[in-house]
A and B are shown apart, each in its own frame.
Chain A
Amino acid sequence: HVHLQESGPGLVKPSETLSLTCTVSGGSISRFSWSWIRQPPGTGLEWIGNMSRSGRTNYNPSLKSRVTISADTSKNQVSLRLSSVTAADTAVYYCARDTLVQGISGVWFDPWGQGTLVTVSS
């Protein structure tokens, strides 16, 4: 049973870089693709980007210039960096496994980590 746990600073200053880590247990990250998704307080979900099994990354066009997703297979971790943050980046950040099955078009997210709240404030 795969378990995901996000970790990182809960407070980041404006213009600085947000850095989060997703530690995966119960399975190797090399076998799947992994996404980062965020949810500003009181609003809906926004896909940030993902990293495939081969290490290829895809990012939301609205965040692409500021986002970097990477992986450390030795630690079984996937990381997110978001630069030049503003108050609009305040959100709960989730990591999730990308799941796909032959015969179904597209990817869904399962399981999810519990999420970590990041507040951007001076």
Chain B
Amino acid sequence: QSVLTQPPSVSGAPGQRVTISCTGSSSNIGASYDVHWYQQLPGRAPKLLIYGNNNRPSGVPDRFSGSKSGTSASLAITGLQAEDEADYYCQSYDTSLSGWVFGGGTKLTVL
């Protein structure tokens, strides 16, 4: 059971917009800790996608965006492409555990 809760799967057709939620609590996201997102392509290591809730590292397309409100965060992907098919993970800090925590991951399928 992950500290941060994500839907196990989402799907969308090419060109569509999808969102992935990340729900935490008052000991992590709600404690004003920022949320970061990673993309993990099949058989590859995770790659940083969004840091500090809504910042994209150099090289990440602006089709990817993040937001945070209260005890939750969201990752949005617009103009869905086949290459976006991957697992996506959110990450933050938890004061109760005194450590970094991840969501359980969401598998994105491009139909």
* A106 interfacial by beta-carbon distance below 8 Å: yes
Q: Is B47 an interface residue (CB 8 A)?
A: yes
Complex Cα spacing A49 to B100, Å: 8
- Is there a chain A Cβ closer than 8 Å to B111's Cβ? no
Residues A105 and B45 in contact in the complex (CB < 8 Å), given A44-B103, A58-B98: no
Which of B55, B57, B101 contacts A47, CB < 8 Å?
B101
User: Once the chains bind, are A44 and B2 in contact (CB under 8 Å)?
Assistant: yes
Among candidates B32, B44, B91, B98, residue contacting A61 with C-beta atoms closer than 8 Å: B98
Q: Closest Cβ of chain B: how far from A104's Cβ, in Å?
A: 4
Q: Check A112 against B45 for contact (C-beta < 8 Å).
A: yes
Q: Which of A60, A109, A115 contacts B91, CB < 8 Å?
A: A109
Say yes or no for A72: interface residue by CB 8 A criterion. Answer: no
Q: Is the CB of A115 within 8 A of B45?
A: yes
The size of the chain A interface, using a CB distance under 8 A, is: 28
User: Would you call B97 and A104 a contact (CB within 8 A)?
Assistant: no
Q: In the complex the two chains form, what is the Cα distance from A109 to B57 in whole Å?
A: 12
Query: Please, how many angstroms separate the alpha-carbon atoms of A105 and B91 in the complex?
Result: 12
| A23 smallest CB distance to B (angstroms) | 15
Is A106's CB under 8 angstroms from B98's CB? no
Taken together as a complex, chains A and B put the C-alpha atoms of A37 and B106 apart, in Å, by: 18
- Quick one: given A58-B99, A104-B52, are A44 and B34 in contact (CB under 8 Å)? no
Report the Cα distance A5→B104, complex, angstroms: 25
Interfacial chain B residues near A44, Cβ < 8 Å:
2, 89, 102-105
Can you list, as one digit per residue, whether each of B72-109 has a CB less than 8 Å from chain A (1) or not (0)? 00000000000000000101110001111111110000
Residues of chain A from 59 to 73 with CB closer than 8 A to chain B in the complex = 59-61
**Which A residues touch B36, using CB under 8 A?**
106, 108-109
B34 to chain A, nearest CB (A): 5
A37 to chain B, nearest CB (A): 8
**Max count, chain A CB within 10 A of own CB: residue among B34, B55, B98, B100:** B100
Q: Which of A60, A94, A107 has the most CB of B within 10 A?
A: A107
Interface of B toward A, CB cutoff 8 Å: 2, 32-34, 36, 38, 44-48, 51-52, 55, 57, 89, 91-93, 97-105
